[in-house]
Amino acid sequence: MSNILLTRIDNRLIHGQVGLTWINHIGANLILVADDEVAYDDIQQNLMDMAAPSTVDTRYFTIQETIDKIHKAADDQLIFLVTRTPENVLKMVEGGVPIKKVNISNMHFKEGKKQISSTVSIDEKDAEAFRKLHKLGVELEIRRVPDERKKDILEFI
């Protein structure tokens, strides 16, 4: 059984908050980026590797690879799973990835999205994915850093 400590939605994937603050807070030794684009982009992977602590391993899988491989993780792999969208999380949960809690941090504003916190903007597609995740028993919190007060996303959708 995989040992996913936390799943995070963050458009930026691996950066300072992920690489330092959250890793130290949850005690992960592996950052798994589940993203169909980054899985095939060595340049983005190299840049993100620079933001990760040298004591932490990184892996870059497509959403389907994550579904297929997560159950093969070694018992000593303490996984911090990072992806860009709630739809990705929903695909993984529906595919059997044992995600129990999702930290929602950065979902950038763009045309057609409604800003619901200082760093999170959603559209109806995002809201529907969050509602489905909630029905599947996944805890959903908006929180940028560990010492910030959690907000339940369901209050906003």
DSSP 8-state class, residue 17: I
CATH number of 4-146: 3.40.35.10
Residue closest to 107 by CA, chosen among 22, 13, 3: 13
Residue 19 has pLDDT above 90, yes or no: no
- Per residue in 144-153, pLDDT tens? 999 999 999 9
- Give per-residue pLDDT as tens, 21-70: 899 999 999 999 999 999 999 999 999 999 999 999 999 999 999 999 99
* Ramachandran assignment for 13, one of left (phi > 0), alpha (psi -120 to 50 degrees), beta (any other): left
Q: Please give the average per-residue pLDDT across 9-18, as a whole number.
A: 89
Q: Which residues are catalytic?
A: 15
Q: Is the pLDDT assigned to residue 1 strictly greater than 60? A: no
Q: Which of 10-19, 122-131, 147-156 has the lowest mean pLDDT?
A: 10-19
Token look-up 């579904």 returns 67
Break the chain into its structural domains and give their ranges: 4-146
Rounded (to 5) percent helix, strand, coil in the chain: 35, 25, 40
DSSP state of 20: I
Average pLDDT over residues 129-141: 97
- Report pLDDT for 101: 96
pLDDT in tens, 73-112: 999 999 999 999 999 999 999 999 999 999 999 999 999 9
